Amino acid sequence: MELIVGNIAFSTWSLRPWLVLKRCGAAFTVREVSLYGPGYQEQLAKVSPSGKVPLLKVDGETLWDSLAIAVWCAERYPHARLWPADEKARWLARSVTCEMHSSFMGLRSECGMGPDARGVIHTMVGPDRAPPPTGEATLADIRRLVEIFRDMRGRFGARGPYLFGEWSIPDAFFTPVAARFRHYQIDLSAHGDDGVAQAYCDVLLDQSEFHEWTALASR
C-alpha cells in the first residue's frame, strides 16, 4: 500500500490520511510529489486522476481525497476505532470532519500553506512564523473553529485529550489547522477561547505522529 502525498512540509490535505493510516497501524510506504515548480502539474497528472493529492494505492486501485481515504481506513481497520464509540459523538464527529473538509475558505486562503505570491514558503513544520490574519472571513472561521473545539471537548472530552476524548478521525482533520494557527501566530484567546481550544491544539501538535511527520519533512 502506498500513500502519495504533496510536499510534507506544507501539504495539509496529505497530512490527514497519513495520520489516520498511522493510527490504524497500517503498513504503507510514502511517495512525495512536488506541488510547485515548473511542470509540477503535468507530473501530478501522471499519478493522480483528480490532479490532486493525497492518493492511496491499494489492492490495484487508486483512491483519492483525504476524507474518502479516512473512511476507507475506518472500514478496513475497524479495530482502530477511528470514529468515536458513543453514537452521538460519532454523529457529531462526522459533522465536524465534513465541515472541516468543505469549509473555512477564509482561513485556507489568507493563511495559506506552501509558496505565497512573493515566493515565501509557509510550512506546518518549520520554526518560521507569519503575521496573524486580519480578514473578516478568516476571523469568522477562527471563531467557528474555537467554538467547535470548546463545544466538543466540553461535551465529549472526558475520556482523553482529543476532540472526542480518545483519538478519532476529526483529530487528523484538525491537526493541520493547529499547525496553521501556530504558523500564523493566532492567539485563540482573542477569538473566544477560554484555554480549551488552545490546549486541544497543543495536544495535536504534540502527537508523536505529528513529530514523525515533521521529521519526515526535514529529511
Ligand X SMILES: N[C@@H](CCC(=O)N[C@@H](CS)C(=O)NCC(=O)O)C(=O)O
Q: Which residues bind ligand X (CB under 6 A)?
A: 6, 11-14, 35, 41, 52-54, 65-67
CA distance 178 to 201: 5
Give the CB-nearest residue to ligand X: 52
Nearer CB in complex with ligand X: 35/89: 35
**At closest approach, how far in Å is the CB of 6 from ligand X?**
4
Q: What is the DSSP string of 108-161?
A: HHHT--EE-TTSPEE-SSSS---PPP--HHHHHHHHHHHHHHHHHHHHHGGGSS
Q: Strands 55-58 and 121-122, how do they pair?
A: unpaired
Helices (H) and strands (E) in the chain, counts: 9, 6
Output the smallest distance, CB 87 to ligand X, in A.
26
Query: At its nearest, how many Å lie between ligand X and the CB of residue 131?
Result: 22
CA distance linking residue 137 with residue 139, whole number of Å: 6
User: Closest distance between ligand X and the C-beta of residue 159, in Å?
Assistant: 28
209 DSSP assignment: H
- Return the C-alpha cell found at 160: 482523553
CB nearer to ligand X: give 15 or 152.
15
Place of cell 495559506: 112
Q: Which is nearer to ligand X, 121 or 199 (CB)?
A: 121
Residue 102 CB, nearest distance to ligand X (Å)? 8
Which CB atom, from 44 or from 188, has the smaller least distance to ligand X? 44
- Grid cell of 169 as nine digits: 478521525
Give 51 or 160: the residue with its C-beta nearer to ligand X. Answer: 51
